[in-house]
Amino acid sequence: MTAATLYAILGGLLFCLAFHALVVAGHPLRRLLAVNVMGSSVFLVLVAGAAPGDPLPQALVITGIVVAVAATALGLNLLLRLAAPPADDTTAAGEAGE
Amino acid sequence: MTVTVLLPLLVLWPLAAGLLALLLPRGAGTTLLVASAGNLGLALALAADVATTGGGGHSVGGWAVPLGIALRADGLSALLVLVTALVLPLIALHATAAYADAERRYFAALLLLFVTALNGLFLAGDLFNLYVTLELLGLSAVALAALGGSPAALLASLRYLLATLTGSLAYLLGVALLYRAAGTLDLLALAGQGPGLPGGALAFALMVAGLLLKAAVFPLHFWLPPAHANATPPVSAALSALAVKAPLYLLLRLWLTVFDGAWPLVAELLAAIGAAGVLWCSVQALLQTRAKLLVAYSTVAQLGYLVLAIALVPVAGATAYGAFALLLVSHVLAKAGLFLAVGNLARRARHDRIDGFERVVQHMPLSASAIALAGVSLMGLPPSGGFSGKWLLLQAAIAAGDWWLVAVALTGGLLAAVYIFKLIEHTFGGSDRPEATPLPRRMEWAAFTLAGAAVLLGFLAQPMLALLGGVP
Amino acid sequence: MNENALLPVLVLASSLLPGVIIFFLPEGAVRLRSALNLAGASVKLLLVAVMLWGVSRGVTYAVSFPLLPGLDFSLRADPLALLFVTLSAQLWFLTTIYAIGYLEDSPNRARFFGFFSLCVTATVGVAMAGNLLTFLLFYELLTLSTYPLVVHRETARARAAGNRYLAYTIAGGAALLLGTAWLYAETGTLTFTPRGFLDGSDAPAPVLAAIFFLLVAGVGVKAALVPLHGWLPRAMVAPAPVSALLHAVAVVKAGAFGIIRVVYDVFGVEYAAELGVMDALAAVAAFTIIYGSLRALAQDDLKRRLAFSTVSQVSYIALGVAIVGPLASIGGIVHLVHQGLMKITLFFCAGNYAETLGLHKVSQLDGVGRRMPLTTAAFTVAALGMIGLPPMAGFISKWYLGLGALEAGATWAVVVLAGSSALNAAYFLPILHRAWFRPATGAWSPRPAGARAETTLALLLPPVITAVLVVLAGLLAAVPYSPQEWATLVVRREFYAQ
């Protein structure tokens, strides 16, 4: 079995593990972390499938990492607001005129 | 304007406008309205172009596949871009009255990014760009859902975020597997290749699962009702109308193009979950006491019809394809109008319990009429787009010999009648306390126009089907 | 669009446009609203007269445009359509006057008259529909536009009645949709064709029979065939103009009209007889006739008695259709008009009793003939017509039905008709006796000071006019353009091989 195939299988296993953690975990932070690991596992599979010197998977993975970072930031922000709502938060004011 | 200019513009214009809205604290509302108008113009131009030439493509920056970004438009894409562009100004009109300055800025920016993602998705020509636009769509939708700021809204958006990310990652894993096997991500290049590729079935299964989760199709719909019910009305309208349709469009596209409509088992599975979704979620809808939850469950139920139509495409061809398009477009219009109208009533009443609506409806005949008109389309009663879609769905099911699907479609219509009239019943009656502040007129007109459009679509089925063209 | 295409559209528009405008008028704009209503009704009458003249000379008024793949939205003013359209136009005009008087000073009139106009538009659309799809479209529109009229009073009873109405009519609509979709899938066409288009089609007979039952069940809900009639008595909670309109013109007749269209213009009456479905229809019709009359006997509430009477009488139309033969067909089709005239008179009078004197029950009607002689006279004329006494219109219908039954060898139908007449007498004659010959049990509320008539003119004139029409339709039945002559024209031209 080549290294590439090994990494691909590992990626798949990691995906399943992280998915399991996502479903089972109670705390939202753990869930967010599980999703992050799922993301990483997919990137692993992507890279593992790449022919040497093929720029496309690398571009894909970089894009994917950026997206993951943004998503994680959004998720963390939501978590923070849930845990400790800011005092004078204008966006929490809801609809106008109420 | 040729396709070469239109396609990238349709993605860049809302993107630029969204960023501009973020930078202009007080001009956000105007930016949103101007951007919507511009988007509508571009969409109309695209529709006109596709109607005459049958579609076209463009490689952004001159970079050809496989390295570049390919944008392509055919009948279905143009139609979906157009309906998005039609709904956007009306939601914008409603929102500029509904939100105060501070939230308006964020709403405008996020909504425009949302539309960028939609346009990009409908026009994308390769699998990875579809992933990027899917993610952008999901993230902007989550942020929009969280705008309400209440703990319930935040909790629901968090759940939405996790669900949508999981869905995207499943999809991406499928893309990764396909790339390993095929060496390309371009849709045209992959056309018909899917079933023959090693691991193609697994990739397809992953992608389908991910997309069904993102589209909140039964039984993966758990995240939708809280998210849509706790969001503010313009957001609920945008999400229910558009955000959940994009993954279904993608599902159809993938199945037909890359995987050539293969594997009858897929059709059977989709038919089963579609049918179950229609029946189960319609029942759930009529058990609700809160109006927004009722409407949210109605969305999931109606998505079941779309899945049924997808399931029938390989067998029934153009009829099922037309049913899918008609049902989708009429649901977009009807659901957006319904959420806006229910939102209007809830705002006036300061709660969204259905049995309290009598007391406020007296001075809101437009919103009440909007509920009725949208309801007509959702029930599939003539004349409306919903009826035309239902007719085609019935014809497709009869042609395929699936009589149980016929039964499901008709029963779904009856159940829809129950929950719609549960809403409408409470729009007859009562008197308003005179001191309540009236709602800005355009909030009601926005709802009414959307609902009226859903009904009018019943008379425009033929032109719409002409734009749609044949099954790809 | 040439004028032959324009006229059907204009007939629809003459009630649709006022309706839409009325929705946007403020509640207090009474004069403008009444003016719009009456103007629309008058214009419609005029247009219908023009079409009548044209059709009798052989002109075809039709318009169509593509609605769905392979199917058009199609309006065609053929002789049968005109029968129903004329009835609707005349009775709408009179009911509008009546409703303006009846609902004076009551809330939500803008909503009422808006939906009222929509309801008539839907009825006229049902009449002129050129294919089953257009028929279905307007048929469902009729459901949607009559629901707000049933729940108009917004009481708990009204809501419950509205829900029951919806339950029946939407389920019926689903049956109709299934039958229509299936028929299209089997044959590829839905156009109404004289003598039907199914004879000789290669769809298997059991399938066609199933489709027949679905279609008839769908229209049978509105036509109040037993056991699909349950919505009708409860719907009496609506104001009298609504009961008058629903029972004389719009909903019930639309159902009966649907039965006529399905039997004559989809299946063809002779082919339907071959299929064997006519016997079932005849049995259901006969049962409904007797059942409705029996239930009517037991009612003390006047409107409910009239409601069950409607259940019974509309099935005369179904019976006439189910008995295969020109005379029976004429009897059934002309009863569409005659029953409309008679029943609307009865409901107008019931409304007068309720509105002027607060009387809702038969047992309260003692001596009312003295206080409201004209109303009671109109009621008498219509009731005698329902029993079938000459020279009233009801006699003509029963005559043709009886002759037709004999011609077709269905003597049992004659028995049913006779029995029904006896039952009609049993539940109408006591009312007449009470009204004219019994002394009043208490003092009546007096006439308003300065009133010349027993009640407001808007409430008095319509029943008197329709009662006169009932007599004329019977007396002048042999005159050209009478309902009976027109029905004969329809049957001879359209339904039987020459």
Q: Which domain holds residue B357?
A: 268-472
Label residue A93 by pLDDT band (50, 70, 90): very low
Which CA distances in Å does B174 have to B170, B207, C6, C462?
Answer: 6, 5, 58, 74
Label residue B77 by pLDDT band (50, 70, 90): very high
Assigned architecture for domain A3-97? Orthogonal Bundle (1.10)
Element holding B420 (H helix, E strand): helix B403-425
Q: What are phi and psi of C387, to 5 degrees?
A: -65, -30
Q: Environment class of residue B180 by beta-carbon count within 10 Å: exposed (0-12), middle (13-18) or buried (19+)?
A: buried
Residue C496 DSSP one-character state? S
Q: What's the pLDDT score for residue A97?
A: 35
Give the residue carrying structure tokens 């951007």.
B35
Tokens standing for residue C311: 């259940």
Q: What's the pLDDT score for residue A95?
A: 39
Q: Is the pLDDT of residue B197 over 90?
A: no
Q: What's the pLDDT score for residue B435?
A: 53
CB < 8 Å to A8, chain B: 180
Q: Is the pLDDT of residue B431 over 70?
A: no
Question: Tell me, what amino acid is at C115?
Answer: F
Q: Residue B383 — left, alpha, or beta (φ > 0 → left; ψ -120 to 50 → alpha)?
A: beta
CB atoms within 10 A of CB B250: 24
Check CB contact of B45 with chain A, cutoff 8 Å: no
Interface test with B, best of C132, C142, C149, C177 (most B CBs within 10 A): C177
Check CB contact of A95 with chain B, cutoff 8 Å: yes
Closest approach of C66 to chain B, Cα-based (Å) = 7
Cis? peptide before C206, omega within 30° of 0: no
Q: How many CA atoms lie within 13 A of C277 on its CB side?
A: 26
Q: What one-character-per-residue DSSP string does B376-419 give? A: HHHHTPSSSHHHHHHHHHHHHHHHHT-HHHHHHHHHHHHHHHHH
Are B391 and C68 within 8 A, CB to CB? yes
Contact call for residues B168 and B134 (beta carbons, < 8 A): yes
Q: What's the pLDDT score for residue A48?
A: 86
- Give the pLDDT confidence of B331-351 residue by residue, as tens digits: 999 999 999 999 998 888 888
Label residue A96 by pLDDT band (50, 70, 90): very low
Strands C62-68 and C71-76 come out as antiparallel
Label residue A92 by pLDDT band (50, 70, 90): very low
- Give the pLDDT confidence of B292-327 residue by residue, as tens digits: 999 999 999 999 999 999 999 999 889 999 999 999
**Contacting A residues, span 63-82, partner chain B, CB-CB under 8 Å:** 63-64, 67, 70-71, 74-75, 78-79, 81-82
Are B462 and C181 within 8 A, CB to CB? no
Facing B417 at nearest CB: one of C69, C162, C166: C166
pTM value?
0.92
Give the residue carrying structure tokens 């029942």.
B283
Q: What's the pLDDT score for residue B436?
A: 62
Contact call for residues C331 and C320 (beta carbons, < 8 A): yes
Q: What's the pLDDT score for residue C281?
A: 92
Q: Is the pLDDT of residue C450 over 60?
A: no
Question: Tell me, what amino acid is at C412?
Answer: W
Residue C44 DSSP one-character state? H
- Give the pLDDT confidence of A26-36 residue by residue, as tens digits: 899 999 999 99
Which CA distances in Å does B393 have to C34, C94, C210, C374?
Answer: 44, 43, 21, 57
Give how many domains chain B has, as a whole number: 1
Are B459 and C67 within 8 A, CB to CB? yes
CB < 8 Å to C185, chain B: 395, 398-399
What residues are paired with B58 via a beta bridge?
B71
Q: What's the pLDDT score for residue B156?
A: 93
Lowest average pLDDT, out of B86-90, C339-343, C371-375, goes to C371-375
Lowest average pLDDT, out of B455-459, C88-92, C272-276, C452-456, goes to C452-456
Q: Environment class of residue B132 by beta-carbon count within 10 Å: exposed (0-12), middle (13-18) or buried (19+)?
A: buried
Facing A71 at nearest CB: one of B139, B180, B185: B139
Contact call for residues B69 and B59 (beta carbons, < 8 A): yes
Q: What's the pLDDT score for residue B92?
A: 93
CA dist B331 and B310 (Å) reads 15
Is the CA virtual torsion C311, C313, C315, C317 positive or negative?
A: negative
Q: Which of B273, B14, B391, B359 is nearest to C70 (CA)?
A: B391
Question: Tell me, what amino acid is at B111?
Answer: L
Contact call for residues C258 and C223 (beta carbons, < 8 A): yes
Can you tell me the mean pLDDT for C21-49?
Answer: 88
Q: Confirm whether B11 is domain-assigned.
A: no
Label residue A94 by pLDDT band (50, 70, 90): very low
Tokens standing for residue C363: 């047992």
Q: Is the pLDDT of residue B419 over 50?
A: yes
Q: Taking the C-alpha atoms of A13, A14, A16 and A19 in order, what is their torsion angle to the nearest 10 degrees?
A: 180
CB < 8 Å to C143, chain B: 381
Strands B70-73 and C62-68 come out as unpaired
- ∠ CA C204-C208-C211, rounded to 5°: 145
Facing B172 at nearest CB: one of A42, A70, A97: A42
Tokens standing for residue C235: 């719907």
Q: Residue C445 — left, alpha, or beta (φ > 0 → left; ψ -120 to 50 → alpha)?
A: beta
CB < 8 Å to C151, chain B: 425, 428
Check CB contact of A60 with chain B, cutoff 8 Å: yes
Check CB contact of B139 with chain A, cutoff 8 Å: yes
Are B465 and C73 within 8 A, CB to CB? no
Chain B residue set in contact with C, beta carbons under 8 Å: 319, 322, 365, 369, 372, 376, 379, 381-383, 387-388, 390-392, 394-395, 398-399, 406, 410, 413-414, 417, 421, 425, 428-430, 458-459, 461-462, 465
Give the residue carrying structure tokens 């849709």.
B187
Percent above pLDDT 70 for chain B: 97
ipTM value for the complex: 0.92
Interface test with A, best of B104, B147, B159, B165 (most A CBs within 10 A): B165
CA dist A35 and A19 (Å) reads 7
Can you tell me the mean pLDDT for C1-29?
Answer: 84
| More confident of the two residues B434 and B19 | B19
Which CA distances in Å does A85 have to A28, A74, B245?
Answer: 16, 15, 33
Q: What's the pLDDT score for residue B432?
A: 55
Facing B66 at nearest CB: one of A31, A56, A79: A56
Closest approach of C20 to chain B, Cα-based (Å) = 12
Lowest average pLDDT, out of A39-43, B19-23, B222-226, C199-203, goes to C199-203
Are C171 and B376 within 8 A, CB to CB? no
